[in-house]
A and B are shown apart, each in its own frame.
Chain A
Amino acid sequence: DAGVTQSPTHLIKTRGQQVTLRCSPKSGHDTVSWYQQALGQGPQFIFQYYEEEERQRGNFPDRFSGHQFPNYSSELNVNALLLGDSALYLCASSLRFINEQFFGPGTRLTVL
């Protein structure tokens, strides 16, 4: 049973560029949440997708957007990258109305 997978593993971008990160949820899960983890900090909730719609959003600007596809996989898009966007981006999947969230290995984004 495959767990949560994310791609790419690492990414280097320059300020002002745009980036797309991808996530495939654990088999059987229908809900995807995205988190940003800065170095030495706990993950911070960005948003959650269910039935291809954004259901809840944390305190992140509109530069952060997402999408969920009919097969439940998801993308995180970040526009106009800033140096402060450098972080580990984590995807977590869950089954709607069930609390447990299972995380992928993350994508390490470096903005130069």
Chain B
Amino acid sequence: GENVEQHPSTLSVQEGDSAVIKCTYSDSASNYFPWYKQELGKGPQLIIDIRSNVGEKKDQRIAVTLNKTAKHFSLHITETQPEDSAVYFCAASKGGGADGLTFGKGTHLIIQP
């Protein structure tokens, strides 16, 4: 089955700096890669996703890149703010809406004031 590795497990950055979280996946059939943000006591919130026919996608301060050949994808957050502090998860699936998501172990992002 699919295996998703996520790094780093903890990331501390100064407010205003950029943060990058990286994930690799094992199943070449995977073609849908969402990112979730989870705050304490809440369920994961979908923040951005990318499909295998796209190399990069941007939404305001958040961007995701995908390298299908190398089987890795990354989340980039620019101009970080205190409210960006949370645990971020990457995930992968074969897409089509009929496949469960395989998650990484998460990255605890800490924004230092």
Contacts and interface: CB of A to CB of B under 8 A. Distances in A.
A42 B100 contact: no
Contacts of A101: 34, 46, 101
Contacts of A59: 1
Contacts of B41: 105
Q: Chain B interface residue count: which class?
A: 20 to 34
Contact of A42 (B42, B43, B46, B89): B89
Interface residues of A, number: 32
A95 B97 contact: yes
A59 B100 CA distance: 11
Contacts of A104: 43
A6 to B, nearest CB: 8
B96 A43 contact: no
Given A44-B103, A90-B44, A101-B34, 10 more contacts: A42-B89, A55-B98, A56-B99, A94-B97, A99-B32, A99-B97, A100-B34, A100-B49, A103-B44, A105-B42
